[in-house]
Amino acid sequence: MQASHHSPYAKDVCYVLLSFTLWVAVEYVTVWHAKLAEWIALMPYVFIQYLAIIAVFWFVLARRRWPEKKTFFLMLVVMYVMEFLWQTPLLLNPLTFVPASLLLMSIWGFLTFLPWWLVQRTLREHRLHCVACLLWLPAGFVFAVLLG
């Protein structure tokens, strides 16, 4: 018997756990590192938000089996709704809206698709997409230096 028959939901659990871990790490690095007490004060609500976002993408990718292109467009909608609800300052400024959108697309792509590709073992097939999803690391550093 193959390992996948032992636990049909193993990939689902791996996707959710990996995504959640990345959400917590990325949110800490990009938003909360300077205001840890505020972040902790918002617990468990922020974790529930992360899990709700992850659940949306898990559902469309794993259960509905949406193509990644369609999922990407859903990701953009969810990203803009959430980032405007969170009042992300770079999106609220007309001068930084476009660069911030590109930065956020890279971060959200990283959080949405990288765990999916890892779990599905299709990372090699998505090499170029992975590079785009990792651009937020140097771009975020440049933003931090210029705006910090």
Question: pLDDT tens digit string along 22-56?
Answer: 999 999 888 888 889 999 999 999 999 999 999 99
This prediction has a pTM of 0.89
Q: Which two tokens stand for residue 89?
A: 């300052």
Which stretch of 8-22, 80-94, 128-142 has the lowest confidence by average pLDDT? 128-142
* Residue-wise pLDDT tens digits, 49-78: 999 999 999 999 999 999 999 999 999 999
Extract long-range pairs of 111-116: CB within 8 Å, 24+ residues apart.
111/19, 111/22, 111/23, 111/26, 112/19, 112/57, 112/71, 112/75, 113/68, 113/71, 113/72, 114/22, 115/14, 115/15, 115/18, 115/19, 115/22, 116/15, 116/57, 116/61
Q: What number is the average pLDDT over the span 81-101?
A: 93
* 31/85: higher pLDDT: 85
